[in-house]
Amino acid sequence: MTGNPSQNQAKLFTYMSDPEKRKIAFDAWEKEFGPLLANAQEGARYYDELLDYVRQSNNPEIVREFEERFVRLLPTIEEQTSIQLLNGLEEALVTKRQPVEADE
């Protein structure tokens, strides 16, 4: 997402230069993109794409507010590590599980 903003992007960035309108836009984005950002596997990639898009506004206030608001939606490294650990334990248990033979 590099280059100059399109006409629609320019309109959006003009709209977002007003703090109250920016809040409305970011509320909508949070609803739309929040679940994607919270994804432990892909969240950072989606965040970076949105941040690149917002940076095209060339408005430091919009970028700063985006970063402050949306970075908190990303899973923390601790959460990611816990999820990976649990997935690894689950996989180990499933592969080690052996059928129980009934005594006759």
Query: Is 1 inside any structural domain?
Result: no
34 lies in some domain: yes
What proportion of the chain, given as a percentage, has pLDDT over 70?
Answer: 69
Mean pLDDT over 20-33 rounds to 95
Q: Of 54, 12, 5, 17, nearest to 33 (Cα)?
A: 54
Phi-psi region of 102 (alpha: psi -120 to 50; beta: other; left: phi over 0): beta
Whole-prediction pTM: 0.66
CA distances to 33, 51, 64, 91 from 80, in Å: 19, 21, 25, 16
Given a cut of 60, whether residue 78 has pLDDT beyond it is no
44 occurs within a structural domain: yes
Domain that holds residue 47: 7-96
Greater confidence, 9 or 83? 9
| Total domain count, the chain | 1
Residue 104 lies in a domain: no
Report d(CA 41, CA 45) in Å as an integer. Answer: 9
Per the listing, tokens 């993109």 go with: 33
> Mean pLDDT for the chain?
82
